[in-house]
Amino acid sequence: MWMLLPIFCLAIVHLSGKNVAVIPDMVGSLDNDVYISTIVTYIILGIIIAAITAWIGVRSGQDLVVVARSIYGTRGKKVLALTLLSISIPASALTGGYYAGESVHILTGLSHSVAALVCLILFSLLAVGYSHELLKISNYIGLLLIPILIYFFFQQNLQFNSVAPKWDQVNWLLVLGLTGYNVGGMWSALVVETAAYLSQEGSKAILLVILAKLVEGIFTLCMVYLVISTGAQGPLALAAVVSNAGGDLIRDIFNIVLFCTFANTMAPAMLVNARQVSSLTGLSFWPALLLSVSIIYIVSFLGFALILSIMGYTALVMILFIIYTAYFLHKYGMNQQ
């Protein structure tokens, strides 16, 4: 019973753009086939990679930076930075540029390009510690997202048999991209650190991560069903669901909550991006932060489909890194550097 609260807390922490924006918006192009992509991403590949990542934390008892330095030597920090950025940069472009910009565009009428830049600057300022109180308020507002969506979910006429998944249709490049978005980048470092902290619990710590990923996957499937059942279209299909059911005022309130959810994810993500860029380039923090913002802003213009395709390939790098790291730890243990 002690695990129930941590499971739900860990699942809530991991809810981000992929759960409430990317995957629901895929319904417009994949229709019911989005179910099988989500199931493979979360219930199969996501859980496998999450379990391996958690095992690294339990086995090593250290965070991912220390583990990488132990295995890869003096180059370990750069190897880790490159691996994290290969997922974190396109994921940040989707969440912090494309979707957060769209949310601000709906609320304010600013052009999307201007709104995306404003969002990235705001997230960067929050990342470096400006206005801690604003970030705390954002965290509290973001907690409203789940009850709002659960309310609208149960307002639907639930007929799950009408949207049965087709197991023979899997877009593997898309699945890899979603898997990288789901368990790569900042998420993998967070899971290793969490599992290391709980390493004395052994297999229970790994089980906690697996169950949290399962809860997150079930929630995402429910959001997919909500979009399919209402026929809403993206971008931000869930905002369209809320608007159709509750009107423009409720839509604007929901967009504020959604933006806070993006901010809660992007503030730590921008900090991670800046630190990894600094590690790769040797730049001090502020120039590295400016460079990472510039790269993310440019990538956000590549478009939804192309960014996901890029993540499909970079996810292979992340998966190989995690598998090799786990293999090395299993065979040789931690080296002392």
* Cα–Cα distance for residue pair 96/121, rounded to 1 Å: 10
Sequence-separated (6 or more) residues with CB below 8 Å from residue 162: none
pLDDT for position 7: 58
pLDDT tens digits for range 172-185: 777 877 787 777 77
* Cα–Cα distance for residue pair 52/27, rounded to 1 Å: 30
pLDDT for position 336: 47
First to last CA, the chain: 39
pLDDT for position 29: 58
Q: What is the CATH number of domain 22-154+168-332?
A: 1.20.1740.10
pLDDT for position 337: 47
pLDDT for position 92: 92
The DSSP line for 140-158 is HHHTTHHHHHHHHHHTS--
Residues 7-13: contacts with CB within 8 Å, 24+ apart? 7/208, 7/211, 7/212, 7/215, 8/212, 8/215, 10/194, 10/208, 10/209, 10/212, 11/212, 11/213, 11/215, 11/216, 11/219, 12/143, 12/146, 13/190
Written as six digits, the tokens of 271 are 């900090």
Q: Mapping DSSP to helix (H, G, I), strand (E, B) and coil, where does residue 225 land?
A: helix
pTM of this structure: 0.87
Q: Mapping DSSP to helix (H, G, I), strand (E, B) and coil, where does residue 169 land?
A: coil
| Contact status, residue 40 vs residue 168, Cβ threshold 8 Å | no
Enumerate residue ranges in the chain where pLDDT < 70. 1-18, 28-33, 158-169, 334-337
